Amino acid sequence: MATETKLPLLLSEARTLLGGYVPQDTDFETAINEAVERIYSEGIWDGVTDRLSLTSYITDEILSLPYEYESLLSIAIDDSPVPIMGRQHEFTQAGPGIEDAGKGGSVVIDLGFDDSSGQALRKYKILQNIVTATEVEGILKKRFRFLVSDTQEVLPGNIGALKHALLAVVYENEGDIGRSAAYWDECYAILQSAKQTSRAGVINPNPQQQWGFMTNKPHAIV
């Protein structure tokens, strides 16, 4: 049986452990998907990121993330970290202007989602030349994907947080927004506490990033 410290937590185990927190007239899969999707949208939690080699996903200096991933959190090209800038970077008055992929220096620009393939893939423009021998690695946030199979992993797999999230959904559907908000707050507090505990003793970097010059990262990204 799964516990809060055992991973992975499968949908079948989650149903056994958490099914009692969902009203009998409510489908468990519907409730757990609503809860997990909301959790994904509110932070970057333990278990929802991967480190991945990205070279094979780059064509003409345009990086298209695999469908399984929602966003690129950091990137290194030939072992050198490269800043990721928002699309407005090329449109700021003091900025570089519009730059061609493969030119302009060591910057990666987030182009947002492109639905031309029918999959809404997140794309990035790399402003330096990428050749076959170039090594590109990144840390990526997983995309929320609906849980439909008993063998699918539920992430994050923290039972306490999921319990509060399910209760928050239940009360929200009943129109009790105050109680729902209280359960959401506790859910995120549990996840944040677990993340901080798992990183005890780790010194987190404070790079110059697109959220401001020499400012701290948002706490949910730590």
pLDDT in tens, 185-206: 999 999 999 888 876 667 666 5
Answer for the pair 165, 38: CB distance below 8 angstroms, yes or no. Answer: yes
Q: How, if at all, do strands 49-53 and 84-85 pair? A: unpaired
Task: Give the residue from 153, 185, 170, 187 showing the smallest Cα distance to 34.
Answer: 170
C-alpha to C-alpha distance for 44 and 40, rounded to whole angstroms: 7
Give the Å distances, CA to CA, from 221 to 51, 65, 122, 155: 15, 19, 19, 16
As a whole-number percent, the residues of the chain with pLDDT over 90 amount to 70
pLDDT given for residue 49 in this prediction:
94
Residue 221 has pLDDT above 60, yes or no: no
Q: Is the sign of the CA dihedral 66, 68, 72, 73 positive or negative?
A: negative
Kindly state the DSSP code that residue 147 receives in the 8-state scheme.
Answer: -
